[in-house]
């Protein structure tokens, strides 16, 4: 029976099938579309049969992937046909042709509603099916109550009610705010007593959506779920037609166990006991049988049971039983079971105390890494990554490296990132780490992101013992005939810095090093050349006594690149050339890079970020299940191995940069941002850029007690007063970092928009989350609603609106509390809404400055104070500091070179923008004291600003800023230039010269 029953349709389908190629097919389709279009135009002549036929043809064409931009109206109009055959076609075609966002659907709402509330149950079914498949907000608004009525109506037959249940599920998932389910607990409980298993299956799906949204309300359904599961698992009273290969509806069993996983625990001991009995029965009673379908069905149930056992945190015995089962599964031949075994074992890693048992299966898992099936290899890779620790890192990473050479492209990137992270996290010794990374670059250079080699450079720079070893290794790789660009970069960098440590070894004289590196120059991209030039400059500097021949050679190269079109290369060539003629000063400037400040690995951070991303995704998914559009976004995935942003590069180019400079930079980036904010929508990419810029500043508190972490936060804030923007603060659960709070802020005039990121790093939800802002009287802060629960591994964002009313140095405090297990955790965190956020730098000329200065005479508008105990710093640093606080320094305004004059505008709601003028007089003989004069049109402002600046001058962290003295040059205060310019060593050197 291969005929559609509609001759015209069959003929058309045959025609399309007979087309030899895509072009012919398109011609045939276009012809048909033209035909349909004309027929629809003269609609009068169309019989219902013809209309049906053409609408089906349209659907067929649409299904093949062609655009059909007409005829939607005809399809929709069939819905209102009085007869079943037309109506049926109308409903089905409409639900395939249109999606929930389509305007045409609105036209149909009335008809659909009439069908739903009408008496004809076949019409009811059609309408419920369509709404269940594509119903959007409009449908939810006008139909939800009717659908609810049908679901619980005693006069409706099961065939209508099961459709009503799923239709309601859809409406609720998409628009939980529209569908009113208050008081549905009892109804749901009633539905779970349903005898008809079709209705019960649909209702169970509905329950899953409802409990995932609000499990607390549905406690009373829990025992019923357990009862249902018992009934199914024991095969009591299950009609034959609801068994599938002898198994009582495996789907309903799975659904029921899914619903149970949304309840955090089961308190009632009896319910718990009977549930565990059932689970035990499933775990032990599932055998492998010959029939594939029976096997699949029983294992679907088994794996769901495993998930439920894990969720319920069962007794140790049962857990080890689970691990034993999984251990069996990962060794079977059947690929599906092996895949699921690996997948679930990865989930199992989150359960405490079983890691050691899982480790016993390491060899088996490594075999799966060589499986012909990429899906299985992916699972194996994830599992190995998850189970890796200090004891097995060497083995696992070496396996990964070995696999890297044969792995397909789709996996190499992930593989190399994971190998790099594991090597860093669990390196038994650092030389092994260097080996691993260099091998990684050698084998899969294309997939090694810059982060990876930046990190190895940081390690080597910070560990003197490692330097000769790393340099020697780099030298070895250079002997290879063809090496990857990244290898050129890293070895050139390492040899430039540490090559001189090898001087006595064969083949490592400066000349030899130079020539072997220089050999690579013709093959590299222009982005690598600057690194090579730095290396040459360093080699030159290390060649003592100078070798005139080498010098001439290198000068020749600098000379050649002095006219290079690439500005970076040109600048370096010019500067190095000039520097290298200066003799002694070269030594200072090109001296070895100082140690990097200890910071979180960009890699690990990236890995965590992607985890957060995925957590966010799943949180979104979770929400989507409850509400809206679960459509996946079909865009190209951003490669994890993204192009390096300027800031990352700068970490290596200017390793001397201390954290503080980072902050300044970020700050300046920010003020820059602020400068143009008036035109910029806060949602523009520049805001994201800002986020990226601030990213590295996230400060994570070390594990400790709450009190400690709070101190951390506070000291964090005090130490780095101008970074508060990005203070990511971590109140800490005993031993584990459970919560991460981050901040992103934008400031504009007297207003600010701050977004708090509350991240739950646990695998269980955080409950009873409360966040209250205790604003000081001068700030008006509105915190949007903070959800009561943060789902596991998810992040929620809470926007805050800040309005500055009056000048004050008081700081707003976030009072944050949540419940973890049975403990209430509370933390008070200072928010970065400080005085200088409401400043806007303004440059003032001498003509403007002096009359103002004079007109504001004496207290209280003008205040003067001698400040002692100032941290001594060069004037230039102080100017930077001021600029970073958005107090714009006007150089040269004060004739005395030891003085500094700055101006800014202050914004608050109650006053007009106020000009503030500041003068600092320093004493070159004693840098620990200075005289400060602050003037503005408002006495309070003058006082507060003076105190604010004083605090900053006195409390600057010595430890962090001191390396500055040793660095080539401080960053140049140019608030208006892009932050990137500051990271450029060339620019810095230019400043020095």
Partner 1 sequence: MIHFVLLISRQGKVRLTKWYSPYTQKERTKVLRELSGVILTRGPKLCNFVEWRGYKVVYKRYASLYFCMCIDEEDNELEILEIIHHYVEILDRYFGSVCELDLIFNFHKAYYILDELLIAGELQESSKKTVARLIAAQDSLVEAAKEQRSSISNIIAQATK
Binding residues: 7-8, 49, 53-57
From 59-67, 581-589, 908-916, 951-959, span contacting partner 1 (CB under 8 A): 59-67
Regarding 63 and contact with partner 1 (CB under 8 A), the answer is yes
From 180, 220, 293, 855, residue interacting with partner 1 (rule: CB under 8 A): 293
Beta 888-889 vs 899-906: how paired, if at all?
Answer: antiparallel
- Beta-bridged to residue 748, according to DSSP, are 751
* Cβ closest to partner 1, residue 2 vs residue 584: 2
Regarding 791 and contact with partner 1 (CB under 8 A), the answer is no
Give the 3-state secondary structure of residue 487. Answer: helix
Contacts of 136 (CB under 8 A, 6+ apart): 100, 101, 105, 174, 175
Least separation in angstroms between residue 644's CB and partner 1 is 25
From 618, 645, 719, 751, residue interacting with partner 1 (rule: CB under 8 A): 618
Least separation in angstroms between residue 930's CB and partner 1 is 57
Q: Which two tokens stand for residue 206?
A: 């509905």
Regarding 303 and contact with partner 1 (CB under 8 A), the answer is yes
Regarding 297 and contact with partner 1 (CB under 8 A), the answer is yes
Give the 3-state secondary structure of residue 902. Answer: strand
Least separation in angstroms between residue 350's CB and partner 1 is 13
What's phi and psi for 416, nearest 5 deg? -70, -35
Regarding 494 and contact with partner 1 (CB under 8 A), the answer is no
Interface with partner 1: number of residues (CB under 8 A): 83
Q: How far is CA 2 from CA 10, 57, 772, in A?
A: 9, 17, 68
From 60, 263, 454, 838, residue interacting with partner 1 (rule: CB under 8 A): 60
Regarding 925 and contact with partner 1 (CB under 8 A), the answer is no
From 51, 72, 173, 672, residue interacting with partner 1 (rule: CB under 8 A): 173
From 80, 296, 321, 797, residue interacting with partner 1 (rule: CB under 8 A): 296
- Please give the angle made by the CA atoms of 208, 212 and 217, to the nearest 5 degrees: 95
Regarding 349 and contact with partner 1 (CB under 8 A), the answer is no
Regarding 937 and contact with partner 1 (CB under 8 A), the answer is no
As a dihedral over the C-alpha atoms of residue 542, residue 545, residue 547, residue 551, rounded to 10 degrees, the angle is 50
* Cβ closest to partner 1, residue 132 vs residue 973: 132
Least separation in angstroms between residue 378's CB and partner 1 is 6
- The answer for 274, left when phi > 0, alpha when psi is -120 to 50, beta otherwise, is alpha
Rule CB under 8 A: which of 635-694 touch partner 1? 637
Residues 888 and 880: their CA atoms lie apart, in Å, by 9
Q: How far is CA 15 from CA 7, 20, 29, 104, in A?
A: 12, 10, 9, 31
* Cβ closest to partner 1, residue 325 vs residue 564: 325
Least separation in angstroms between residue 614's CB and partner 1 is 7
- Please give the angle made by the CA atoms of 87, 91 and 97, to the nearest 5 degrees: 135
* Cβ closest to partner 1, residue 305 vs residue 979: 305
Least separation in angstroms between residue 230's CB and partner 1 is 18
Closest CA to 800 of 741, 872, 740, 715: 741
From 631, 676, 774, 965, residue interacting with partner 1 (rule: CB under 8 A): 631
Regarding 59 and contact with partner 1 (CB under 8 A), the answer is yes
Contacts of 112 (CB under 8 A, 6+ apart): 79, 127, 130, 131, 139, 143
Regarding 10 and contact with partner 1 (CB under 8 A), the answer is yes
From 338, 394, 443, 840, residue interacting with partner 1 (rule: CB under 8 A): 338
From 164-172, 468-476, 495-503, 742-750, span contacting partner 1 (CB under 8 A): 164-172
Regarding 104 and contact with partner 1 (CB under 8 A), the answer is no
Contacts of 72 (CB under 8 A, 6+ apart): 94, 97, 98, 102, 104
**What are all long-range contacts of 874-878, with beta carbons under 8 Å and residues at least 24 apart?**
874/970, 875/900, 875/922, 876/970, 876/973, 877/961, 877/964, 877/970, 878/920, 878/922, 878/953
Residue spans of alpha helices (H) in 562-705? 567-580, 584-589, 602-626, 646-653, 659-677, 685-694
Least separation in angstroms between residue 642's CB and partner 1 is 17
- Beta-bridged to residue 49, according to DSSP, are none
Regarding 122 and contact with partner 1 (CB under 8 A), the answer is yes
Q: Which two tokens stand for residue 730?
A: 């971590």
From 239-247, 447-455, 916-924, 962-970, span contacting partner 1 (CB under 8 A): 239-247
Regarding 242 and contact with partner 1 (CB under 8 A), the answer is yes
From 60-68, 175-183, 458-466, 710-718, span contacting partner 1 (CB under 8 A): 60-68
Instruction: Look up tokens 């149970």; give the residue.
Output: 260
* Cβ closest to partner 1, residue 302 vs residue 699: 302
Contacts of 962 (CB under 8 A, 6+ apart): none
| H-run or E-run covering 866 | strand 862-868
Rule CB under 8 A: which of 188-227 touch partner 1? 197-198, 201-202, 205
Least separation in angstroms between residue 336's CB and partner 1 is 5
Beta 247-248 vs 243-244: how paired, if at all?
Answer: antiparallel
Regarding 181 and contact with partner 1 (CB under 8 A), the answer is no
What's phi and psi for 906, nearest 5 deg? -110, 135
Least separation in angstroms between residue 166's CB and partner 1 is 4
Q: Which two tokens stand for residue 556?
A: 């020749």
From 84-92, 538-546, 724-732, 805-813, span contacting partner 1 (CB under 8 A): 84-92
From 614, 823, 855, 977, residue interacting with partner 1 (rule: CB under 8 A): 614
From 367-375, 394-402, 411-419, 826-834, span contacting partner 1 (CB under 8 A): 367-375
* Cβ closest to partner 1, residue 197 vs residue 593: 197
* Cβ closest to partner 1, residue 40 vs residue 242: 242
Regarding 527 and contact with partner 1 (CB under 8 A), the answer is no
Regarding 287 and contact with partner 1 (CB under 8 A), the answer is no
Closest CA to 319 of 344, 337, 291: 344
From 35, 80, 129, 843, residue interacting with partner 1 (rule: CB under 8 A): 129
Closest CA to 738 of 708, 758, 710, 720: 758
Rule CB under 8 A: which of 373-402 touch partner 1? 373, 375-376, 378
* Cβ closest to partner 1, residue 101 vs residue 523: 101
* Cβ closest to partner 1, residue 13 vs residue 524: 13
Q: Which two tokens stand for residue 731?
A: 């109140």
Contacts of 198 (CB under 8 A, 6+ apart): 158, 159, 162
Least separation in angstroms between residue 795's CB and partner 1 is 16
* Cβ closest to partner 1, residue 12 vs residue 849: 12
Regarding 241 and contact with partner 1 (CB under 8 A), the answer is yes
Regarding 299 and contact with partner 1 (CB under 8 A), the answer is yes
Is the sign of the CA dihedral 145, 146, 152, 153 positive or negative?
positive
Least separation in angstroms between residue 724's CB and partner 1 is 35
Regarding 621 and contact with partner 1 (CB under 8 A), the answer is yes
Q: Which two tokens stand for residue 173?
A: 């998932």
- Beta-bridged to residue 935, according to DSSP, are 862, 917
Residues 556 and 535: their CA atoms lie apart, in Å, by 15
Regarding 53 and contact with partner 1 (CB under 8 A), the answer is no
From 24, 99, 515, 928, residue interacting with partner 1 (rule: CB under 8 A): 99
Residues 213 and 962: their CA atoms lie apart, in Å, by 53
Query: Residue 545, preceding bond cis, omega within 30 degrees?
Result: yes
Q: Which two tokens stand for residue 93?
A: 């075609």
From 91-99, 435-443, 484-492, 825-833, span contacting partner 1 (CB under 8 A): 91-99
Q: Which two tokens stand for residue 764?
A: 């269980």
Regarding 70 and contact with partner 1 (CB under 8 A), the answer is no
């Amino acid at each position: 029976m291969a005929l559609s029953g509609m001759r015209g349709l069959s003929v058309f389908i045959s025609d399309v099938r007979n087309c030899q190629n895509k072009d012919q097919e398109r011609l045939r389709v276009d012809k048909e579309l033209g035909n349909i279009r004309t027929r629809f135009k003269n609609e009068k002549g169309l019989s219902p049969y013809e209309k049906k036929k053409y609408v089906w043809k349209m659907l067929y064409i649409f299904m093949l992937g062609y655009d059909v931009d007409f005829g939607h109206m005809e399809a929709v109009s069939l819905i209102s046909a009085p007869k079943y055959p037309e109506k049926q076609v109308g409903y089905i075609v409409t639900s395939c042709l249109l999606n929930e966002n389509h305007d045409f659907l609105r036209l149909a709402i009335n008809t659909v509603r009439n069908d739903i509330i009408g008496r004809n149950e076949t019409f009811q079914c059609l309408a419920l099916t369509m709404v269940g498949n594509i119903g959007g907000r409009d449908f939810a608004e006008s139909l939800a109550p009717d659908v609810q009525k049908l679901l619980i109506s005693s006069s409706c037959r099961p065939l209508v009610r099961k459709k009503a249940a799923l239709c309601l599920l859809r409406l609720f998932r998409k628009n939980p705010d529209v569908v009113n389910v208050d008081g549905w607990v009892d109804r749901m409980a009633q539905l779970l007593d349903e005898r008809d298993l079709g209705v019960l299956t649909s209702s169970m799906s509905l329950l899953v959506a409802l409990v995932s949204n609000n499990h607390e309300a549905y406690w009373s359904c829990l025992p019923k779920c357990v009862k249902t599961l018992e009934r199914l698992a024991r095969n009591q009273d299950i009609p034959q037609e609801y068994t599938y290969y002898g198994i009582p509806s495996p789907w309903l069993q799975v659904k029921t166990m899914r619903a149970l996983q949304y309840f955090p625990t089961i308190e009632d001991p009896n319910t718990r006991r009977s549930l565990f009995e059932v689970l035990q029965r499933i775990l032990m009673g599932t055998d492998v049988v010959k029939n594939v379908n029976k096997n699949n069905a029983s294992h679907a149930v088994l794996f769901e049971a495993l998930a439920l056992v894990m969720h319920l945190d069962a007794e140790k015995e049962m857990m080890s039983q689970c691990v034993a089962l999984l251990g069996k599964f990962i060794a079977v031949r059947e690929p599906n079971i092996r895949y699921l075994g690996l997948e679930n074992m990865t989930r199992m890693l989150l359960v405490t105390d079983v890691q050691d048992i899982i480790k016993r299966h390491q060899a088996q898992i490594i075999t799966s890494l060589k499986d012909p099936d990429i899906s299985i290899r992916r699972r194996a890779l994830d599992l190995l990554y998850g189970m890796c620790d200090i004891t097995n890192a060497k083995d696992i990473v070496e396996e990964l490296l070995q696999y890297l050479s044969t792995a397909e492209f789709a996996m190499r990137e992930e593989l190399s990132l994971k190998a790099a992270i594991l090597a860093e996290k669990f390196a038994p010794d650092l030389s092994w780490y260097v080996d691993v990374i260099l091998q990684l670059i050698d084998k899969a250079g294309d997939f090694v992101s810059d982060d990876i080699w930046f990190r190895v450079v940081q390690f080597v720079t910070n560990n003197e013992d490692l330097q000769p070893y790393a340099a020697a290794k780099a030298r070895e790789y250079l002997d290879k005939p063809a090496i990857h660009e990244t290898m050129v970069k890293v070895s050139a960098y390492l040899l430039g810095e540490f090559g001189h440590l090898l001087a006595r070894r064969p083949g490592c004289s400066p000349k030899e090093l130079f020539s072997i590196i220089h050999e690579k120059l013709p093959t590299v991209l222009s982005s690598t050349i600057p690194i090579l030039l730095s290396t040459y400059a360093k080699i030159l500097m290390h060649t003592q006594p100078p070798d005139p021949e080498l010098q001439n050679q290198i000068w020749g190269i600098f000379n050649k690149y002095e006219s290079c079109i690439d500005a970076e290369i040109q600048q370096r060539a010019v500067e190095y050339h000039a520097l290298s003629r200066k003799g002694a000063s070269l030594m200072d400037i090109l001296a070895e890079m100082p140690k990097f400040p200890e910071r979180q690995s960009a890699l690990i951070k990236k890995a965590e970020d992607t985890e957060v991303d995925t957590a966010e995704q799943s949180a979104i998914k979770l929400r989507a299940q409850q509400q809206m559009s679960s459509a996946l976004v079909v865009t190209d995935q951003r490669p994890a191995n993204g192009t390096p942003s300027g800031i990352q590069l700068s970490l290596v180019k200017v390793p001397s940069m201390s954290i503080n400079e980072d902050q300044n930079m970020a700050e300046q980036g920010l003020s820059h941002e602020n400068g143009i904010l008036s035109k910029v929508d806060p949602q523009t990419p520049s805001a994201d850029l800002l986020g990226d810029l601030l990213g590295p500043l996230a400060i994570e508190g070390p594990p400790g007690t709450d009190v400690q972490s709070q101190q951390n936060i506070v000291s964090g804030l005090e130490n780095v007063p101008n970074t508060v923007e990005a203070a990511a603060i971590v109140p800490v659960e005993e031993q584990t970092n459970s919560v991460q709070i981050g901040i992103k802020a934008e400031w504009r005039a007297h207003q600010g928009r701050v977004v708090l990121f509350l991240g739950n790093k646990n695998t269980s939800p955080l409950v009873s989350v409360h966040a209250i802002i205790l604003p000081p009287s001068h700030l008006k802060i509105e915190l949007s609603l903070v959800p009561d629960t943060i789902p596991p591994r998810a992040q929620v964002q809470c926007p805050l609106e800040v309005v500055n009313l009056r000048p004050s140095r008081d700081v707003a405090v976030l009072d944050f509390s949540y419940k973890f297990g049975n403990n209430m955790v509370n933390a008070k965190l200072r928010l970065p809404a400080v005085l200088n956020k409401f400043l806007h730098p303004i440059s003032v000329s001498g003509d403007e400055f002096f009359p103002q200065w004079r007109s504001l005479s004496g207290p209280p508008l003008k205040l003067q104070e001698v400040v002692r105990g100032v941290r001594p710093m060069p004037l230039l640093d102080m100017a930077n500091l001021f600029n970073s606080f958005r107090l714009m320094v006007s150089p040269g305004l004060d004739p005395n070179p030891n003085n500094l004059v700055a101006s800014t505008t202050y914004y608050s709601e109650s006053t007009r923008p106020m000009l503030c003028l500041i003068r600092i007089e320093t004493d070159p003989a004693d840098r620990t004291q200075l005289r400060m004069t602050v003037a503005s049109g408002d006495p309070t402002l003058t006082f507060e600003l003076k105190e604010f600046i004083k605090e900053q001058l006195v409390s600057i962290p010595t430890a962090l800023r001191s390396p500055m003295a040793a660095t080539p040059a401080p960053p140049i205060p140019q608030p208006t230039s892009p932050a990137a310019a500051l990271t450029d060593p060339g620019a810095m050197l230019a400043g020095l010269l």
